[in-house]
Each structure stands twice: as structure tokens, then as C-alpha cells.
Amino acid sequence: MKKEGKEITMASANTQIVSDSPSSSSKSTHQFTYEVFLSFRGEDTRYGFTDHLYGAFISHGIRTFRDDEELERGGVIASDILSAIEESKIFVIIFSEDYATSRWCLDELVRIFECTATEERLILPVFYHVDPSEVREQSGSYEKAFVDHEKEADEEKKEKIQKWRIALRKAANLAGYDLQKYGYETRLIKEIVDVILRELNSKLLLHVSKNIVGMNFHLEELKSLIKIESNDVRMIGIYGLGGIGKTTIAKVVYNNISGQFESRIFLENVRERSKDHSSLLQLQKELLNGVVKGKYQKISNIHEGVNVLRNRFLSKRVLLILDDVDKSEQLQFLVGEHGWFGPRSRIIITSRDQHLLEEYEVDASYEVKVLDYEESMQLFCLHAFKQNILRKDYVDLSNDVVNYVNGLPLALEILGSFLFNKSKLEWESTLQKLKRKPNMNVQNVLKISFDGLDEIEKEIFLDVACFFKGWNEIDVTRLLDHAKIVIRVLSDKCLITLSQNIIWMHDLVQEMGREIVRQNHPKEPGKWSRLWDPDDICLVLRRKMGTEAIEGIFLDMSKSREISFTTEAFRRMERLRLFKVYWSHGFVNYMGKEYQKLLLPEDFEIPSHDLRYLHWEGYSLKSLPSNFHGENLIELNLKHSNIEQLWEGKKYLEELKMLTLSESQQLNEIPHFSNMPNLEQLNIELCEKLDKVDSSIGILKKLTLLNLRGCQKISSLPSTIQNLVSLKRLYLHSTAIDELPSSIHHLTQLQTLSIRGCKNLRSLPSSICRLKSLEELDLYGCSNLETFPEIMENMEWLMELNLSGTHVKELPPSIEYLNHLTHLELRCCQNLRSLPSSIWRLKSLEELDLFGCSNLETFPEIMEDMECLIELNLSGTCIKELPLSIGYLNHLTSLGLQCCQNLRSLPSSICRLKSLEYLNLYYCSNLEIFPEIKENMECLIKLDLSGTRIKELPSSIEYLNHLTSMRLVGCENLRSLPSSICRLKFLEKLDLYGCSHLETFPEIMEDMECLKKLDLSGTSIKELPSSIGCLNHLTSFRLSHCTNLRSLPSSIGRLKSLAELSLSGRPNRVTEDMENLRNPGLSKIEQLFPSRNNIHHIPSAISQLCNLECLDISHCKMLEEIPDLPSSLREIDAHGCTGLGTLSSPSSLLWSSLLKWFKKVEVQFLFEFFFPSFNYKILVKCN
């Protein structure tokens, strides 16, 4: 840091200011209804190229306007078209041969250019079987069209024709796309989609303060590590001190490069948001939602999440940024390893822990260092003066501040924001405070900003620092008066940040706030205003040290020892406002160990009249104290409690808005609701003894949530429920309800109705279709429900309908009236025999799941494209064939036909599924033929034909030219592979395990540069072609139980990327195979599996495998000698090697071999012995 002061003009060339908007402030901030407007000549391209392009836009989540009218309505452009043009951001104009014959199209074109004249928008011309020069010069078919237009044209029309000509010339002069240069329409469509996604993504930037400096340097350094053009998957770490700016730098990188990726996700505050497995699951769901663009897929646990994420990531070029990681578990479950991601993906991880990044083996790390003097001054001025110029009369003062803070961005921002608009006298006073403590830490620097708050702002700041970090803003504003305004003030002063309505506070700021609470009585927690540390709380309660100073207690019992609460301990806490007892790591039921940690006497009382928030998990008494003061209570949460009734007698809780009594298994009654007239949310799920809902519930005019899930004794709802005019969510899962009241249609605000698992429910009232606001109807597991009512009126908001596990035999034809339905689930509806022919009219449907409908024999004809349908699951059905019209589903990305054992063939039209990514035919055991691929299926990336009866693959398989994974496991009838398979340039995994009649593997005539895993285990292959050595990116090669394979070709030594080689179960050939290990080209092998073979010794060449980590020689019963082993080895499996002797004998060959190895590598080791039938396994782990 420079020490001398000097006048600085901040608008220098070195100043780097990064805006949170890609455009300048003078440009419009228009929020568009449509992202793309398609202009085209209907008769030319509507059902071909334009439809495919439109489908590609929709499948990528691009909001697109396409005029569906085929007539020009008198030639006058319609008002809705004009409106759509004005409300569109990008225009794709498809110039076809007869485009200029349409006055409608030409008027559209003129209007498009008029819009772009006043506001910057993007126009992309596409020349479809027409030369751009014809459009520019109006020659050829365009000349003929204009001759017709000019016939008998009056002056007005001539003026219009001139505008048409000018617009055509302008369009043809723009950079556009000529189909002739692309050859295939699919290639052109992919290019257009990529360009539009890049353009849209460049505008969807993360919010970054305008007041940041030095960013170009960080950006360029990180770009050199990211290597954006490299085809590899790269993981980059960013590390440094807290408050140094890691998150800001990561956001700037995201904003700069995200437009080049197919999927991009920025996951903030991972450390704060992943305290346990349930919160990690939420982060996995957030990742999934980001990568599949809102497509519907459920995950129930983190282990399932790993598989789902890996499968979804693998096909895409992903930019994923994990912000503030502090545990390897977070990386394990969120990003896994390089192999999860598609080529050219980039994963960026920010952390304070450099060692964590090194341990995870990121490809490169970048350290963020403190700002130098000039950068510090720039950042400080941007906050202290709100401009790029250092005021001359503040040079010395600014110099002193900047030198003091020592380059930490967070401190500069907060201190600068505090000093903004302050007088010189106030600046000098602030500096005096700093200078009085020359070794003052950063928390004390930040405290100066706290001192500038008014009293109300200070109180709410301390509440957030002690209790509410990570809470939703809505919940905090409900509990604290004035919070809405104060939260904005704190945000403006950089003391908190808001992200998706969640309140975040930097650790340094939080610690500063907590230190303020402690500072006056550092060793007397009973005199603090707020208590959050379990040890401090237990000390105060055990020693009865509490005073009237205490306003809030949040006790995490997961981190606490056993404790007894007494009335005496709380007697002096007369100002207690906020009280929470909870288990951050999950509560064990109230009869379990955790509950016993907190003991309450029968006469327990809380004397405070100020209580606004009471959250007590596992409350052990049968009711709240008789003198409980609830007049100011806003939220009461007693989940997992032992409570039987809330209190004895009558209490009036006028302010109460949220009441949660869930999993209180002794609860048998709820007080009269007239005592809590302003209740907004009532959650009494899993209260197993509760047998009714009091009819007084009808007075709750503000109630928005009613949750009765798991209240197994509740068999009916009171008729007064119709009076809940504000109710939005009603959960009745697993209750004993046998019918819904017919008056349910009065719940006009209801959005979610969940009745899943109500096994007594036999029918639904017809009035249910009058729930005009209903968005989700869940009837999963209503196993006695046999009919779904006719839809008599349009339910325009219903998007999700789940009938899985019901006994419905059919859906009514009127299902077509659910024209906004996006998800229809009918899993395991075993009585369902057919679908209505009208189902294709569900134009908004995205997912149709019929998994396990074992009596469903036919799938209806698709009369028109279901342009939104992206997932169709017919797995486990009885379907014998698919209709030829399945080809109309040209936006489908996933087709599941797993275990359709009656399916004998696929229609040839399946190759028209241009958007299909996953085709699963696993165990379709009667499928004998895979159809010819007559057209490119450029999106198909995964094909599973395992367990089918196919004898061969068509040579046209090469048209699946973006396939990354092909599984043919257990295809016992398969006898050969087509030579064209080597043209699958993107194939990464080819699995032929158990194809027992496969005798040959084709010559590799072309480089398969992406193939990494090849499994030929259990095949009858006799000889591998020498061209196998061309697979120079192969990392895993499995040849287990290939007993017919004579030998490995010498060319195997050219597999220089090979990391895993499996040769188990080749008893007569493995010794010769292992001689190949002498080839230096195999030095990268990390895992070697020569198990279950008749070898007497392991070739000494194994010592040359300097990267070998795992050696499996199990069940090599004739093995008598182990040579010198490489020092890289970390695991040996030698169980069943009876010829080596036993570990119990120090003179055994095994002992002597291993001791030589241990002495050689000088490691600490641990043996784990397993003695099933006196065999053993040795696992050697090294530190």
C-alpha cells in the first residue's frame, strides 16, 4: 500500500467499472412479452422449417410468437400481430421463395424496422431456398411478386411498395443465415437457436454493483485459467479472505461468459444453505431446475439427485458456479467430478479454503488478494462520493481511511457508504475513532457504519445479525415492525444483501453485530440483549442469570447438552420478544433421545408480555402455561410437541398470523378460531389424534394455508370451509376423508389442492372444475378413486394433475379443456386401459407419465404436434406398438419405453423426433428390430437397448451423430455391429456387456475422439482389430470373461489415456495380456483388474505403472508371487488368493511382498480383514 497522500482523478484509464447491465443507461429497459417473433410466409414453411425452428425455440424455453392464422384476413395486418411485434425482443425473418407475394409479410417487415429504429433490437434474416441477392435486389421470384403488387397501384400503394423495397434491402444487408451454406436444416436451426440463446443470456445478468474496481485484471487472469475454447471440462477455484470480493468476481465472470453456455447456474451461499442433507437436496433441485430449463423432474434424496444431475449435465455445455463452499461433501453431491459434464463445460468454485480446492483437484486455482492503493481509493470514492472523482478538500481524510482499511473491499464499501454526505467534521470524528485503536480489527471498522443507524435500524440490524440471516424477507417483515423499510436501508448501506428475497449478511458484518451485543458485558451473557450460542444460553438458564435486557433467544438443541428450563430462569426476562428452541440437524421424535435433553417442570411459565415469536420444537408439556401472555404473539410454532391442547380456558390472540402444531401426536383439540381471527397459516399436519376441524374455521377470512396432511382421523371437512375466501393452499394428504364438500368451488383463490394418499376417497364433486384459480391437483395414491369427473368448464390455470396410483379406468374426453395443463402423471394406474383420443389437444402439456400402467395397450394417434410435450414415459405398459403419428411429437426430448415387454417394433417415424435426447428401450424383451434412421437425429444423446432381442443395428445408426451413450447390455441375440458405428463422433460410452453371441468388433476406420468407456465383457469376441489403438481417448476398457478372446493386439499400447483395464475371468490368456503392461503407452493406468484368473505370477512390468492406485487380484488361487509394486498403489484386493498363504503367518508370500512395498513407499497403513470361509480381503489405505 502507498502511504503518501495525493490528489487523484478517478476517471483514469485504470479505473474499471463493471455495470450490472450490458447496455448503457440511455438504452431502454423495456420488458418484452416475447423473446422471439417469427415472420414467415405460411404457405411456404409453416409445416416444415418454421415449425421445426419454433419447436426448437420452445424446447429451449424461448418465449416465441408465431402467428397461427393461415389466412391474411383481408390483407390488413391484424392488431394482435402489431402488438406482438412491439412486444418482441428478437425478430427471425424467414425469406422463402414466395415471401414477397404476401402483403401481410411485407407489412410485418416494415413494422419490424420501425420498431428497431426507436429501440435497439436484433433482426436475424434467414434465406430459405432463396439467394440473399434476390431479396436485396428484388430479382427472381421477388421481382415477379412486385410486378403483381404494382399493377393498378394508386399513389398510396406506391408509397407502401417503396417502403417494402427499402425494408427488404435493409434486411438482406444484415448478417443472416443462408440455408445453402448449412446444407442440413437441423444444422441451421441449431445455429440460430445458439445465437439467440447467447443474445438472451447476455441480457440475463446477475446483479453486480456498478461501484466495483479492478475487475478487468481479475477477469483476464481467470479467463486464462478457464480456457473458454478448450474442449475439456475444467474446474477452477477462486480463494481468498472473507470480504475480499470472491463472490463479486465470480458474478462478473458469470456475466461475461455465460452467454456461451447452453446451461448456466450461479449457486450462491452454498455454505449457509447446506447445513444438512435436506438443504443439500434443495440445492440439487435448484441445480436441476437451472439445467433443464424448468422441465419437471422430481428427486427425493441426495443420492438419487447425484444420478439425475449427472445424467442431465452430461449432455450439455454447462457453466456452474458454486459460491462459498467450505466442505468436500458439498462438491461431492453438487458437482461430482469432471465426467458429470458435457464437453467444454466450466465449473467455478469460490472458497476461503485453498486446501479444500487442492484436495478436490481443481484444474487451476486463483487467489484474490487485497486491493492496491489506487484500486482501494477508487472503490472508496465510489461509495463515499458516489462518483469517480476524489474531492480535493477530502484528499487527506480519504487517504487516511484507505490506508487504515488495508485493501479489504467489504470494509471500504461499508465505511465509504457510511461517510457519504457526511461533513468534514464527521469524517474527522470517524478517523479519530479509528486512530484511537491502531490495531483495530475489521469488525471495529465496520461498526462505524452501525453507529450511523438510527435506533430502530440498529435494533433490526442486530436481530438479523443474531437470528435472521438466511431468512425470507417476508417472514422477517411479518415479525418485526418497520422491517420492510429498514431492510432497504441496511441494503443501501451494504450491511445486508437480498437475493431472491432471502436476507444475507457477510460473516464479518454478522460477527461485528454479535460483538456489539457482547461488548458492554463481555463475560455476562445474562445482560446481553440477544442470545444465540448454545453454551451461553445454557449457562444463563442453568445459573438463572437472565435479566430484563434479554429480548431474544435462539437455542439450537442439536449443539446443546442436556438442560432443564425453570420458571425462575425466565422470571426476569420481561422483555423477551423472540424465543426459538430448535434442532438444526433434525428432530428425533418426542419420545426419543433428543426430546429428553430439554426438561420442563409442570409449573413452567414465560412471564413476558412482549412475546411476538414463539417457536419451540419438542415442547414437552400438555399445554401452554395458564398465564401465557399471547396478546402480541404473531407466530406460534410447537411442532413435535407433547401438547394435547394449546391452553386451558380462553385466550384472545388477535395478532396471531401463523400457527404450527405439526407432528404433535397427542393433540386432540384446537381452540375456537374466533380467538385468532387474523390467522393466515394453519399447519397441523401429522397430528394423529386430531379427529375434526372445528366449524369456527369459517371465520378465518385471511387464511391462505391449511395443512391437514397425515391427520388420519379427520374424515370430513366442515361445510364452513367454503367461507375461506383467501385460501390458496389446502393439503389433505393421507387423511380419512371420503369426499370433498360440493361447496368447495367457493374457494375461488385456491391454487393448490393435495389429496394424495386419501384411500377412502371414491369420487370428486363435479364442482371441482369451478375452481378457477386451481394450479395443482394432486390425487396420487387415492387407490379407491375410479373416475375423474367431466370437465364442464375451462380450468384455465390448472397446470399439474397427478392421478398416479388411482383406480381410474379412463380419462374423460373433456380432459382437452385443461388447455394449460403442463404435467399429467398417471403412474401405476393399473386399471387404465386407454387414453382419450382428445389428449393431443393438450397443447401446453410438457410431461405425460404413464409408467407402470400395466394394462394400457394402446397409445392414441397424435393428430397434431403437441409442441410443448418434452417427456413421455410409457415404461412398464402393455403397449404393443406406437402409432406412426408419434413422429408429430417433434419437441419430445425423452421417450421412456423401459420394460414394455409386448413391444415388438418401433415405427419408422421415430426418426422424425428431431428434439429427442433420451430413448430408453431397456428390457423390451420382444423387440427384435431397430428401425432404419432415415434422417439425422441430432439431439439424441442416450440410447439404451439393453435386454432386447435385436440381432443387429442398422448401418444408418451413424445418423445418430450426437449420441454420447449407447447401452446394449445383455443383448444375447446381437451378432455383429455395423462398421458405421465408428462414425458416431460424439459417442463417449459403448456398453456391450453380456452380448454373448457377439463375435466380432468392427474396424475403427475413423477417429472416435470422444469414446472414453468401452465394455466388451462377456462377449464371444475372438479377436480385436488392431485399429482398436485408434481409440486414443479411451479411459476405461473392460474385457472381463471374454474367454474366446485369444490375445490383445499390440496396438493396445497406443491407448495412452487408458486409466482402467479389466481382464478378470480370462484364465488362459491373462498372463500374455499383462505382458502388454511393459508398453510405456499404458503408463496412465490407475485401476487394473486381473482377478479370477489362473496366473502363477504377476509380471514385473506392473512396477512400471507409475499411476496405478487400485489392483484387484482376488480369486487368483494359483498366484504364488507378487513382484515389486509401484509406490502409487493405494488399494489391493487379494481375497481368495489361497496360494499366497495367510496373513496370520508372518512368513507367508503375501506378507513378504506387502512388507517390501510398505518399506518402499514409507506409508502408514491400515489393514481391514475379512474372513468369510477363511478367505480374506486386504485393503491397504495410505495417508
C-alpha cell of residue 778: 394432486
User: pLDDT tier at 468 (50, 70, 90 boundaries)?
Assistant: very high
Per the rule left: phi > 0, alpha: psi between -120 and 50, beta: everything else, 883 is beta
Q: What is the mean pLDDT of residues 80-98?
A: 88
Pairing of strands 530-531, 497-499: unpaired
The candidate with the shortest Cα–Cα distance to 411, out of 372, 367, 433, 444, is 444
User: pLDDT tier at 440 (50, 70, 90 boundaries)?
Assistant: low
Q: What is the CA radius of gyration of the chain?
A: 35
Mean pLDDT of the chain: 86
Pairing of strands 497-499, 502-504: antiparallel
pLDDT at 15 over 90: no
Give the pLDDT of residue 864: 81
pLDDT at 993 over 70: yes
Q: Which residue would you say has higher pLDDT here, 444 or 847? A: 847
Give the pLDDT of residue 81: 82
The candidate with the shortest Cα–Cα distance to 1001, out of 1011, 1013, 1014, 987, is 1014
Q: What is the mean pLDDT of residues 1098-1109?
A: 87
**Fold entry, domain 34-200:** Rossmann fold (3.40.50)
The candidate with the shortest Cα–Cα distance to 540, out of 322, 552, 184, is 552
pLDDT at 231 over 50: yes
Q: What percent of the chain has pLDDT over 90?
A: 50
Give the pLDDT of residue 692: 93
The candidate with the shortest Cα–Cα distance to 1150, out of 1163, 1133, 1170, is 1133
CB atoms within 10 A of CB 25: 8
Give the pLDDT of residue 1153: 58
- At 491 the three-state DSSP class reads helix
Give the pLDDT of residue 26: 33
Q: What is the mean pLDDT of residues 188-217?
A: 79
Give the pLDDT of residue 590: 39
Return residue ranges of the chain for CATH 3.40.50.300. Answer: 215-367
Count of positions (residues) in the chain: 1183
Distance CA 319, CA 219 (A): 16
Give the pLDDT of residue 74: 39
Per the rule left: phi > 0, alpha: psi between -120 and 50, beta: everything else, 361 is left
Give the pLDDT of residue 201: 67
Q: What is the CATH number that goes with domain 520-690?
A: 3.80.10
pLDDT at 295 over 60: no
Least confident interval from 433-437, 859-863, 891-895, 1034-1038: 433-437
CA dihedral 1054, 1060, 1061, 1065 (to 10 degrees): -170
Output the DSSP codes for 110-132: HHHHHHHHHS--EEEEEESSS-H
Backbone phi, psi, residue 497, to 5°: -130, 155
pLDDT at 1142 over 80: no
pLDDT at 848 over 60: yes
Give the pLDDT of residue 1152: 58
Give the pLDDT of residue 352: 86
What is the maximal distance between C-alpha atoms in the chain?
A: 111
Name, in order, each residue with C-beta under 8 angstroms of 203's C-beta and a sequence gap of 6 or more: 22
Q: What is the mean pLDDT of residues 428-435?
A: 80
Distance CA 699, CA 721 (A): 9
Instruction: Say which of 35, 108, 134, 473 is annotated catalytic.
Output: 108
Which CB contacts under 8 angstroms, 24+ apart, belong to 46-54?
A: 46/70, 49/94, 49/128, 49/185, 49/189, 50/94, 51/865, 51/890, 52/185, 52/186, 52/189, 52/890, 52/914, 53/92, 53/94, 53/189, 53/192, 54/867
The candidate with the shortest Cα–Cα distance to 340, out of 300, 288, 289, is 288
Give the pLDDT of residue 237: 96
Give the pLDDT of residue 1097: 85
Q: What is the mean pLDDT of residues 698-702?
A: 96
pLDDT at 1171 over 80: no
Helix (H) or strand (E) holding 823: strand 823-825
Amino acid at position 1041, single letter: H
DSSP 898: T
Task: Please state the CATH superfamily assignment of the domain spanning residues 786-936 in this structure.
Answer: Ribonuclease Inhibitor (3.80.10.10)
- Residue bearing cell 510405456: 1080
Q: What is the mean pLDDT of residues 459-470?
A: 97
Summarize pLDDT for 629-672 with one digit per residue, the tens.
999 999 999 999 999 999 887 888 999 999 999 999 999 988 88
pLDDT at 31 over 80: no
Give the pLDDT of residue 206: 80
Summarize pLDDT for 1058-1087 with one digit per residue, the tens.
999 999 998 877 878 888 888 888 888 999
pLDDT at 1107 over 60: yes
Give the pLDDT of residue 1151: 55
Q: Which residue would you say has higher pLDDT here, 588 or 939? A: 939
Give the pLDDT of residue 288: 86
Active site residue 286: no
Q: Which residue would you say has higher pLDDT here, 560 or 305? A: 305
pLDDT at 199 over 80: no
Summarize pLDDT for 529-571 with one digit per residue, the tens.
999 999 999 999 999 999 999 999 999 988 877 777 889 999 9
Give the pLDDT of residue 1178: 45
Give the pLDDT of residue 42: 75
Summarize pLDDT for 1035-1048 with one digit per residue, the tens.
999 999 999 998 89
Please return the burial class of 718, using the count of CB atoms within 10 Å of its CB with bins 0-12, 13-18 and 19+.
Answer: middle
β partners of residue 1013:
989, 1036
Return residue ranges of the chain for CATH 3.40.50.10140. Answer: 34-200
C-alpha cell of residue 1098: 504377476
HSE-CB of 186 using CA atoms within 13 angstroms: 16
pLDDT at 1034 over 50: yes
pLDDT at 854 over 70: yes
Give the pLDDT of residue 1163: 39
pLDDT at 244 over 60: yes
Output the DSSP codes for 686-705: T-TT-----GGGGG-TT--E
Give the pLDDT of residue 181: 80
Q: What is the mean pLDDT of residues 806-827?
A: 93
- Residue bearing cell 441449431: 190
Give the pLDDT of residue 603: 84
First to last CA, the chain: 42
DSSP 595: G
User: pLDDT tier at 61 (50, 70, 90 boundaries)?
Assistant: confident
Q: What is the mean pLDDT of residues 474-501?
A: 91
| Alpha carbon distances (Å) from 353 to 240, 252, 365, 421, 1038 | 8, 21, 11, 38, 38
Q: Which residue would you say has higher pLDDT here, 301 or 737? A: 737
Give the pLDDT of residue 868: 86
Summarize pLDDT for 612-626 with one digit per residue, the tens.
999 999 999 999 988
Give the pLDDT of residue 3: 35
Q: Are 965 and 941 in contact (CB under 8 A)?
A: yes
β partners of residue 1111:
1088, 1132
Domain 215-367 has CATH 3.40.50.300: yes
Return residue ranges of the chain for CATH 3.80.10.10. Answer: 786-936
